[in-house]
């Protein structure tokens, strides 16, 4: 697991310049989300979107792998309760 995390971080750092490059120009059309009837977390999130797409992108890039890792960890825990061997694969063929 530690190996996997360190490899992922290395790859993330490697791609950081590409991320900035890929962000490039924004499309000509500007979309503004309607936050007038929203409250709490949703309102905060929509306000970030309206104020800065850069911070919005940054938060998206941080939260998605984090959510994936947490949900994956939980699902992993549930799967390990089934009693099957989750460490090896006996089928070794092409």
Partner 1 sequence: MSWLYVLLPIAGVHVWWPGLVILGLCVGVIGGFFGMGGAWMVTPALNVLGLPMAFAIGTDITHMAGKSLISTMRHAKFGNVDYKLSLIMVFGTVGGLEIGARNIMWLERIGKIDLYVRCGYLVLLTAIAWLVFSDVLKRQKKDRAARAAGRTVDHLTTGIEWYKTLQQIRIPPVVNFPRAGIRCSLWLPVGVAFFTGWLAGVLGIGGGLIRMPSLIYLIGCPTHIAVGTDLFEIAVSGLYGAATYSYKGRVELWAAFIMLIGAAVGAQIGAVATKYVKGYGIRIFFGWAVIGCDISILMKIIAATRPSLKTVLDLSATILILGLVTLLSLVIVLKFVMGVREELALKRAEVMVA
Place of tokens 């797409």: 53
DSSP string over 59-79: HHHHHHHHHHHHHHHHHHHHH
> What is the spatial distance between Cα 75 and Cα 94, in angstroms, rounded to a whole number?
28
Site for partner 1 in 63-82 (CB under 8 A): 63-65, 67-69, 71-76, 78-79, 82
> What is the spatial distance between Cα 68 and Cα 74, in angstroms, rounded to a whole number?
10
Classify 80 as helix, strand or coil.
helix
Query: Is 39 one of the binding residues for partner 1 (CB under 8 A)?
Result: no
> For partner 1, which residue of 2, 13, 26, 81 counts as binding (CB under 8 A)?
26
Residues found near partner 1 in the complex (CB under 8 A): 1, 3-4, 7-8, 10-12, 14-15, 18-19, 21-24, 26-27, 30-31, 33-35, 38, 42, 45-46, 49, 53-54, 56-57, 60-61, 63-65, 67-69, 71-76, 78-79, 82-94
């Amino acid at each position: 697991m530690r190996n996997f995390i360190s490899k992922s971080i290395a790859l993330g750092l490697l791609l950081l310049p590409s991320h900035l490059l890929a962000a490039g120009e924004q499309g000509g059309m500007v979309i503004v989300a309607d936050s007038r009837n929203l409250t709490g977390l949703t309102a905060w999130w929509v306000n970030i979107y309206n104020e800065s797409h850069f911070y919005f992108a940054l938060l998206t890039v941080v939260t998605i792998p984090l959510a994936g890792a947490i949900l994956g960890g939980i699902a992993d825990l549930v799967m390990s309760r089934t009693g099957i061997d989750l460490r090896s694969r006996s089928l070794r063929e092409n």
